[in-house]
A and B are shown apart, each in its own frame.
Chain A
Amino acid sequence: METRTDRPTTRPAVPEHRPAPASPAGTDHSPNAPISIHDVTVAYDRKPVLWDVDLDVPEGRLVGLIGPNGAGKSTLLKAILGLVPVISGRVAIYGKPLSKQRKLLGYVPQRESVDWDFPVTVRDVVQMGLYGQVGWFRRLRREHVRRADEALERVGMTDLADRQISQLSGGQQQRVFLARALAQDAQIYLMDEPFAGVDSATEKSIVALLHDLRNAGRTVVCVHHDLQTVAAYFDYVILLNMRVVTHGATADVYTEENLRKTYGGQLTLLSSAATALAQRH
């Protein structure tokens, strides 16, 4: 990462592996795309984290956001959600600015981002997904309570609804966060490493849930780490390392060459990716 200063400051050349429509970058944004990212650059302090990210996330896809540590994956999610200031560029949600479209977005943050000793129950947390719809000063109405309980049901946590959240396993915590986003019934879901630290059974059930969402026409973007499972889980990938290396249908762009471009010299990761690809073909 320290070689960053050598990076070109102009727009990176369009990689060959990128599918056809992308050629003159930045000119092909569709007003109907769930997420349109226009030339977004984000920097913390003096350090740029995201550089000229410019792409449309297509509708109704299950999108994997892939890249090495420090590639800016979480930051990209946060930039889409307006949680980090964008130095230049803008993000549109279905063609409109974020402030008008918040109800369409569901966010599943990293599990470590909150204090799990907080005095709330599972049900309380899931109900938080509906606070935005309840509005100022109001209490939850019966309708909201019902929707929260349905979301709990969908992730199989009904039995644990009254449990304090510190008594949950990692996988259960992740499912609570998922249920909180589901309760909101959003159109677009942005998830920051939903599979981090969960057991394999939970991982499977989360994947099934994500596929359900996709099949119901929702757009889901997940930050993902495990190169082995990318091809199996996602039908669209964005390869990111400070700038977008490439994006497109998994079958088209998830290649060893593109991974090499994304991960640079991180050989251990590469070899595991190679194994994964070998298994796939």
Chain B
Amino acid sequence: MLEELWRVFTFQDYNTRVVMAGTGLLGLAAGVIGVFLVLRKRALLSDAVSHATLPGVILAFWASIALGMTGRSLPVLLSGAALTGLLGMVTVVALRRWSPIKDDAALAIVLSVFFGAGIALFGMVQQIEGVHAAGLTDFIYGKTASMLISDTVIIGIAALGVCGIAIALFKEFRLLCFDEAFAAVQGWPTLRLDLLLMGLIVLVTVIGLQAVGLILIVALLIIPPVTARLWTHRLAPMAALSGMFGMLGAGTGSAVSALFERLPSGALIVLSASAFFFVSLMLGTEGGLLPRLWRRARLRRRIRRQHLLRRAWELREQTGKRTFSARGLVARHAWHPVVAALELRSARRAGLVQRIDGGRWEFTPAGESEASRAVRNHRLWELYLITHADVAPSHVDSDADRIEHVLDPDMVAELEELLAREQEDTPPPSPHRLETPTNGGGNGR
């Protein structure tokens, strides 16, 4: 067993190596073109198309038997698949366009009717005497073990072709997926581009039938793009990552299926692709769960810290002393004493405040500048809201509480510039209390 594992993962077995390369390229193509499928919000269309390939496979098999051929020729079977796959897609589009049936219902109808027809045809083929049709189930569940090297070469070339077209038309597809109307206004042939894109989807679906199977091929088109989106917010890296995830998923899946020949490879490929997905869902930098929680916690910490510094600063302004007491903070701002104590402790650890004799506190030099910055930001924002937006002054404080924590330095600079004309002195005094004497009382509001 271990020896076998070793053989597979070191690609010693020629056959495994070829199959892995072929399915890897398939995954690459599916990942790249799947990005556009997902962004065009057509994910389920590919599912309908893949199910619609079954009658084509069976009919092609039947026809080639009737013509005295083996019925095992992959190009023949896949041509049949492509034919009914396209027919299914056209049916969906036609239903959507010329009947009152809604999109999802049209997809469901096409998917089930074509698949049902395929299953019925399959039953009929099996009853023909002397015909060995069992291998056709490979197209339903996927079986890499049944792939010939010549098949793999075809798949690989087609996959590379799909990637090539996607790269060449990257700009066009991006525009089509983002804003079709705008593309049409610029004179791009949006209908033909759309048909080409859907044609590429059908092609990937068809070449993926043997390795992944028609039930699960949709996953190879959808999961890698969604995984990639969790790591980037730009299209080009997303397509590259998606192709990589598709390739790794398909490659790993087919390697594992080389170990367990009785397991359907489609399932293994999809499961390994989804492993990447789950990891990304947890860790992805663009919307992954843990980074999001982490960012939110950090933001909350920062907001609480700034509250503390600002409140301490204001308390100091009010009392006119250099130091302040925890009790003063609690009294003035209806804080829970425990919360205030915890905040003070964490600010002390950060070197912003220090405890002096008699249970009072004072800012360290670092804390002094940090607090002054927070107060300044806050008041600039308040002034901005009062002077530039129609917000009642009494509502400004609570708004500013939240927004100042996300003010970036550029914004602050802009505000300062805006307000410099009206207000000579910085930091400007709190405009709706008029009780802060520190700035020479120059608050002419």
B355 sits at the interface (CB 8 A): no
- Would A102 and B234 be within 8 Å (CB), given that A118-B177, A128-B175, A128-B179 are in contact? no
Q: In the complex, which residues of chain A have a beta carbon less than 8 angstroms from the beta carbon of B229?
A: 119
Q: Of A114, A136, A138, which one neighbours B179 at CB under 8 angstroms?
A: A114
B188 sits at the interface (CB 8 A): yes
Inter-chain pairs besides A81-B185, A102-B187, A119-B235, 5 sampled, C-beta below 8 Å: A105-B185, A107-B181, A131-B188, A200-B389, A201-B388
Which size bracket describes the interface of B in this complex?
A: 20 to 34
Q: In the complex, which residues of chain A have a beta carbon less than 8 angstroms from the beta carbon of B410?
A: 159
A266 sits at the interface (CB 8 A): no
A123-142 contacts to B, CB under 8 A, are 124-125, 128, 131-132, 134, 136-140
Min CB gap B391→A, angstroms: 11
Q: Are B233 and A139 in contact (CB-based, < 8 A)? A: no
What are the 6 closest A-B residue pairs judged by CB atoms, nearest first? A132-B186, A164-B233, A102-B187, A107-B185, A81-B185, A119-B235
A139 to B39, CA, bound (A): 21
Q: Are A132 and B177 in contact (CB-based, < 8 A)? A: no
Q: Which of B169, B185, B188, B410: most chain A CB closer than 10 A?
A: B185
Q: In the complex, which residues of chain B have a beta carbon less than 8 angstroms from the beta carbon of A107?
A: 181-182, 185
Q: Which of B172, B178, B186, B389: most chain A CB closer than 10 A?
A: B186
Q: Are A119 and B233 in contact (CB-based, < 8 A)? A: yes
Q: Which of A102, A115, A120, A137: most chain B CB closer than 10 A?
A: A120
B96 sits at the interface (CB 8 A): no
B67 sits at the interface (CB 8 A): no
Q: In the complex, which residues of chain A have a beta carbon less than 8 angstroms from the beta carbon of B41?
A: 115
Q: In the complex, which residues of chain A have a beta carbon less than 8 angstroms from the beta carbon of B177?
A: 118
B184 sits at the interface (CB 8 A): yes
Q: Are B187 and A83 in contact (CB-based, < 8 A)? A: no
Interface residues of B (CB under 8 A from A): 39, 41, 168-169, 171-172, 174-175, 177-179, 181-188, 229, 232-235, 238, 388-390, 410
A9 sits at the interface (CB 8 A): no
Q: In the complex, which residues of chain A have a beta carbon less than 8 angstroms from the beta carbon of B232?
A: 119
Q: Are A136 and B172 in contact (CB-based, < 8 A)? A: yes
Q: In the complex, which residues of chain B have a beta carbon less than 8 angstroms from the beta carbon of A136?
A: 172
Q: Are B181 and A120 in contact (CB-based, < 8 A)? A: no
A68-108 contacts to B, CB under 8 A, are 78, 81-83, 99, 102, 105, 107
Closest to B390 in A: A200
**0/1 string, A220-236, CB within 8 A of B gives 1:** 00000000000000000
Min CB gap B412→A, angstroms: 13
A109 to B175, CA, bound (A): 14
Q: Are B168 and A137 in contact (CB-based, < 8 A)? A: yes
Q: In the complex, which residues of chain A have a beta carbon less than 8 angstroms from the beta carbon of B168?
A: 137
* A-B interface pairs (CB < 8 A), number: 81
A113 to B180, CA, bound (A): 9
A201 to B185, CA, bound (A): 30
Q: Of B39, B182, B238, which one neighbours A128 at CB under 8 angstroms?
A: B182
Q: Are A114 and B178 in contact (CB-based, < 8 A)? A: yes
Q: Of B39, B171, B181, B233, which one neighbours A121 at CB under 8 angstroms?
A: B233
- Would A139 and B187 be within 8 Å (CB), given that A109-B182, A118-B39, A121-B234 are in contact? no
Q: Are B235 and A113 in contact (CB-based, < 8 A)? A: no
Closest to A184 in B: B186
Enumerate 7 A-B pairs (CB-CB under 8 Å) in ascending A order.
A118-B235, A119-B229, A121-B233, A128-B174, A131-B171, A131-B172, A137-B168
Q: In the complex, which residues of chain B have a beta carbon less than 8 angstroms from the beta carbon of A109?
A: 179, 181-182
Closest to A121 in B: B234
Q: Are B187 and A99 in contact (CB-based, < 8 A)? A: yes
Q: In the complex, which residues of chain B have a beta carbon less than 8 angstroms from the beta carbon of A201?
A: 388-389
A159 to B412, CA, bound (A): 13
Min CB gap B292→A, angstroms: 14
A140 to B175, CA, bound (A): 13
A153 sits at the interface (CB 8 A): no
A105 to B390, CA, bound (A): 36
A199 sits at the interface (CB 8 A): yes
A184 to B272, CA, bound (A): 45
- Would A83 and B184 be within 8 Å (CB), given that A118-B177, A131-B171, A200-B390 are in contact? yes
A138 to B169, CA, bound (A): 9
Q: In the complex, which residues of chain A have a beta carbon less than 8 angstroms from the beta carbon of B185?
A: 81-83, 102, 105, 107
